[in-house]
Structure 1
């Protein structure tokens, strides 16, 4: 089968990222509790090189339209969702599906789709040529596939799981909507859209094995670091033009809660490792982060030197 033509599988996803509504970094035992979304199933955890936990996958059955201006197709299947917590501070809700053209022409019973978690089957024809672009641009009006709504519900469940609701600072949530498909030439394209929406387009050269799990993790990592940079810029804006102890008070959350979480490609693999280097050259994530982090440290250091009684 041609894995790069119009009939090739299309992977789609959306990631919501925000600050965990708790006054301190949540310890590992508490993270496992809030992410235990399915009783009896294990929460995945890792401590190196950064503390990270991932919930069991949840399935949401969908039977809706997919597409937009260039034409829509009815898709049926089970969207796969999960939540992650990084460093005890940052929570994500991530939903994705693989749309595999060439399936049956009529709807099957639900057991058929539940046996294929994360796969959506188009009914009555193949996807439109620009279905991926329509997905990235669409706000999913009534009847369309809305991964954002699934993520919002999942984030609300996690944020209400016994947290003290006293976040140390306020930073807006971000949304990353992404697509990936096999192409003859690898490429990556990141965009900042209106509001707090970002878009990510991936083209992967076919290789041995199925890389989709790695691609999903890569997109979650991009969303995480975009949110960290967004939060850093947000807190810096609040401190610009402010002097003395008030500036330190506004920037203290950056030092206490954000700076140590910056670790792009902490879990690399052979499929996505080159993508981070390409993305960083294109967008300049690391250059901007390093520049802003240095500004914060210098600002806090100068304020400390001029504090009555000298530095502490």
Structure 2
């Protein structure tokens, strides 16, 4: 009998600033994130707002690289949208990769009944070797023609939401989008582990090990939570890089940094929206790469910079009034 335990779970999260001037409340978020009529948008009010859209499925029939070779997978990728603090928008895609019971393609009705599950119909011998090869093949992101393209799936969904006519396309600041690719495997005796790698200015890779199969259900939410906080750090660091082109007391510098202080600092809540079964993994990220330590340093610098710029502006105003 073929095991239904996933060989690996693959995921992708795109994170960006919602292109509108004000943060969305519950009613507005529900309207924006209702991807399927009749399906409810989940909402969490405390400690910060979180909206999660219904899950929709995207059919795939493609290859998944395994080193020099590739496995053919058929099934569906589960996608959804989240909105954090009414301001940070995410599109998220995931797929459980399992062995197919039969080495032939089934009718689509078979795959549609298993949302977010893809079946390997190629021959796979050793399970542990296959788990590692599939995970690393996905993270290698070689751009191989005909390979699983989670990036395009999540980007299309994100673009669809960002273009919604209810958004005024006037965000309070400029911020780039980031991309988090992730894989999750069952470690059992190895316990829970997480490693995060910064691939380039906007792309990150996360490897996650959980204890039991039931913990895989929480992996996507954990990775979305990590992606939000990585995005906040990325946006803050990029803003300082841009602001440093101008003088310490310049109006341009204040215009770049002040919106961060007003709209972004209150969103920092590591683990607040992570399921309890995986919340302990945040301790590893706090140690390495040191998420909160870096955030504290950046926000202290932000407040100091804004205060200096505002005090200098007040001095100039007082001087001009005297004259």
Matched-pair contact (CA < 8 Å) for 2:222–2:275: no
Matched-pair contact (CA < 8 Å) for 2:221–2:274: no
Measured in 1, the distance between the counterparts of 2:53 and 2:276 equals: 24
Measured in 2, the distance between the counterparts of 1:239 and 1:60 equals: 41
**Are 2:162 and 1:156 equivalent residues in the alignment?**
no
The RMSD of aligned alpha carbons is: 2.1
Aligned to 1:205: 211
Aligned to 1:133: 136
Measured in 1, the distance between the counterparts of 2:317 and 2:78 equals: 51
- Structure 2: stretches of 5+ with no match in the other structure: 125-129, 319-323
Deviation at 1:105, TM superposition (A): 1.2
Matched-pair contact (CA < 8 Å) for 2:6–2:96: no
SS at match of 1:308: helix
Matched-pair contact (CA < 8 Å) for 2:63–2:73: yes
Matched-pair contact (CA < 8 Å) for 1:221–1:265: yes
Please identify, of 67-76 and 84-93, the stretch whose mean Cα deviation from structure 2 is larger.
67-76
Alignment of 1:54-133 (within 5 A): 54-126=52-124, 127=130, 129-133=132-136
**Are 2:165 and 1:167 equivalent residues in the alignment?**
no
**Are 2:11 and 1:13 equivalent residues in the alignment?**
yes
1:252-283 CA distances to partner (integer Å, 9 max, x unpaired)?
11112110001110124342111111122111
Deviation at 1:33, TM superposition (A): 1.0
Measured in 1, the distance between the counterparts of 2:194 and 2:289 equals: 11
Aligned to 2:127: none
**TM-score where L is the length of structure 1:** 0.92
**Are 2:273 and 1:267 equivalent residues in the alignment?**
yes
**Are 2:179 and 1:178 equivalent residues in the alignment?**
no
Deviation at 1:68, TM superposition (A): 4.2
- Structure 1: stretches of 5+ with no match in the other structure: none
Would you tell me which structure has more helix in proportion to its own residues? 2
**TM-score where L is the length of structure 2:** 0.89
**Are 2:285 and 1:282 equivalent residues in the alignment?**
no
**Are 2:247 and 1:242 equivalent residues in the alignment?**
yes
**Are 2:222 and 1:224 equivalent residues in the alignment?**
no
> Structure 1 residue runs of 4+, over 3 Å off?
309-312
Paired residues in the alignment total 307
Deviation at 1:102, TM superposition (A): 5.0
Deviation at 1:243, TM superposition (A): 2.8
Please identify, of 228-237 and 182-191, the stretch whose mean Cα deviation from structure 2 is larger.
182-191
Aligned to 1:297: 303
Matched-pair contact (CA < 8 Å) for 1:67–1:128: no
1:67-101 CA distances to partner (integer Å, 9 max, x unpaired)?
14342110010110000111111100000011012
**Are 2:34 and 1:31 equivalent residues in the alignment?**
no
Matched-pair contact (CA < 8 Å) for 2:8–2:131: no
Measured in 1, the distance between the counterparts of 2:265 and 2:299 equals: 7
